[in-house]
Amino acid sequence: MKLKMIKKLFLLGLLFLNLNSCSESKKSTSDFKFEKGESSLELKIVNGNDYLTYNKPIRTDFKLENIDPNTLSIFGAGIKILTIENGITKTEINVPDNYLESDTLNIKLRFEINGKETKTEFNVPIKREQ
């Protein structure tokens, strides 16, 4: 009887660890990614958050795969391009409080894939610092 109970607890523990590892891997994927064929563009907020903060300069990277960085145009409030190196456009975003109508920064991107103009946009939440 005790052996059956130990087996059930062991299996329950394995199930819990398996489910927990699945949820952790999902957190590491980005909500701000565009993919088309072998080309992709991803916005990464360097501090690891999935949101920006009002009145605070935050480093962001736009990582390009199979997209010429010279064709990339970025449009949005408070975005400053710092450098472009190794397929990564490093930027800083600083949105003033009360500048936007909603607490979402709409970032519009235009670039070329195989000579064809492509557009996408990311809607990044902005929070007030607590």
pLDDT in tens, 23-56: 433 344 468 999 999 999 999 999 999 999 999 9
Task: Give domain limits for the chain.
Answer: 1-30, 33-127
Tokens of 108: 């519009």
| Cα gap 30→50, rounded to integer Å | 8
| Cα gap 95→71, rounded to integer Å | 25
In 3D space, the residue among 14, 10, 107, 98 whose CA is nearest the CA of residue 55 turns out to be: 98
Is the separation of the CB atoms in 87 and 64 below 8 Å? Answer: yes
| Cα gap 68→111, rounded to integer Å | 8
pTM of the model: 0.73
pLDDT in tens, 62-107: 999 999 889 999 999 999 999 999 889 999 999 998 777 889 999 9
Q: Which CATH number fits domain 33-127: 3.40.50.1000, 3.40.462.40, 2.60.40.10, 2.40.10.10?
A: 2.60.40.10
